[in-house]
Amino acid sequence: MRRLLPVDGTDEVDLAALYAPPPGRHVRANFVVSTDGATTVDGASAGLSNQADRDLFHLLRSLSDVVLVGATTARRENYGGARPSGGRVPPPIAVVSRSLDLDPAARLFTDTTVRPWVLTVASAPGDRRTALSRVAHVVDAGEHSVDIPTALSVLAAEGLEHVLCEGGPHLLGDVVAAGSLDDLCLSVAPLLAGGAGDRLVAGLPLVPPVPLRLEHVLEDEGTLFLRLSTVRG
Ligand SMILES: NC(=O)c1ccc[n+]([C@@H]2O[C@H](COP(=O)([O-])OP(=O)(O)OC[C@H]3O[C@@H](n4cnc5c(N)ncnc54)[C@H](OP(=O)(O)O)[C@@H]3O)[C@@H](O)[C@H]2O)c1
């Protein structure tokens, strides 16, 4: 990994320092895209990732208190549960779901050392809620849609202040639209993937667009690692 920006005369890259979140509540997203903006290859993000991206994925998890993920990503990518890494208690996974169409026997709920969270809505089906309550903390954060600020307050009240949103694009769209995103870690792979998949941020257009400030650019084997922070008016 080498640093391209900012240029300050040193090549030294201390990833833990570069990505350390500030104290207090902080919401970060981590995504990988192809150079033409695809967020998936053949339905998953794995084909976009290199080893440095996978290492950064794990580092960002280790710096977070909780991993926030949309139910479609959890289902399609057969999300694993939280497992210890480097002797540290892993951050729990918090899945956002309206339908509660989540299998309580999935790895996410069974192969984990930390009880996951399910952030849902009051109108969610009762039978699924009952089943998931046996394997997860199931919490309402809205009537028909999870209200992102409410969900973040629920997590913060449990001491889960450093939130790492791992997508997908629809959940990120809701996080951005709510004005809740602080920091975007974006890996740009040297690949063209084509297709008509979702952009990084799905949902309604953001008018005016949300301004970001480029904090740094790193590079490894042609993949660019950008960290951008949200500029608030
Ligand atoms: N390139 C990358 O870095 C990256 C990262 C993540 C994901 N992905 C890819 O992105 C695809 C999935 O992304 P996606 O955008 O389609 O889906 P997503 O954001 O992962 O999940 C959408 C689902 O999350 C729930 N949800 C999201 N916001 C909600 C809200 N405000 N209230 C209630 N429920 C809410 C709903 O679940 P229910 O349907 O259960 O109600 C909704 O259908 C996958 O193919 C995955 O591989 C790529």
| Ligand 1 centroid, distance to 73 Cα (angstroms) | 5
Q: Could you say which of 127, 145, 161 is where a domain stops?
A: 161
In a domain, 200, yes or no: yes
Q: What torsion, rounded to 10 degrees, do the Cα atoms 61, 64, 65, 66 define?
A: -50
Q: What is the pLDDT of residue 87?
A: 75
Give the chain's mean pLDDT.
95
Q: What is the pLDDT of residues 165-194, one digit of tens each?
A: 999 999 999 999 999 999 999 999 999 999
Ligand 1 atom closest to the Cα of residue 121 is: 33
5 CA to centre of ligand 1 in angstroms:
31
Calculate how far, in angstroms, residue 200's C-alpha sits from the geometric centre of ligand 1: 11
Q: Which of 144, 161, 178 is the last residue of a domain?
A: 161
The CATH number linked to 232 is 3.40.430.10
Does the pLDDT value for residue 11 go beyond 80?
A: no
Report yes or no on 70 lying in a domain. Answer: no
Nearest ligand 1 atom to the CA of 38 is 1
Pocket of ligand 1, beta carbon within 6 A: 31-33, 39-40, 43-45, 48, 70-73, 76-77, 96-99, 101, 121, 145-146, 166-171, 174, 198, 202
**Predicted local confidence at residue 174, as pLDDT:** 98
Report the distance separating Cα 201 and Cα 162, nearest Å. Answer: 21
Domain count within the chain: 2
Percentage, residues of the chain above pLDDT 90: 89
156 and 180 co-located in one domain: no
Ligand 1 atom with minimal separation from the 198 CA: 15
Integer Cα distance of 185 and 164 in angstroms: 10
With CA atoms as reference, report the closest residue to 91 among 155, 4, 186. 155
Domain that holds residue 144: 87-161
Q: How far is CA 191 from the centre of its chain?
A: 22
Tell me what the mean pLDDT of segment 29-53 comes to: 95
pLDDT tens profile 47-92:
999 999 999 999 999 999 999 999 999 999 999 988 887 778 899 9
Residue 76 belongs to some domain of the structure: no
**Domain end among 130, 145, 161:** 161
194 and 183 together in one domain: yes
- Report the residue among 34, 41, 73, 119 best suited for mutation to probe ligand 1: largest number of ligand atoms under 8 A from its CB: 73
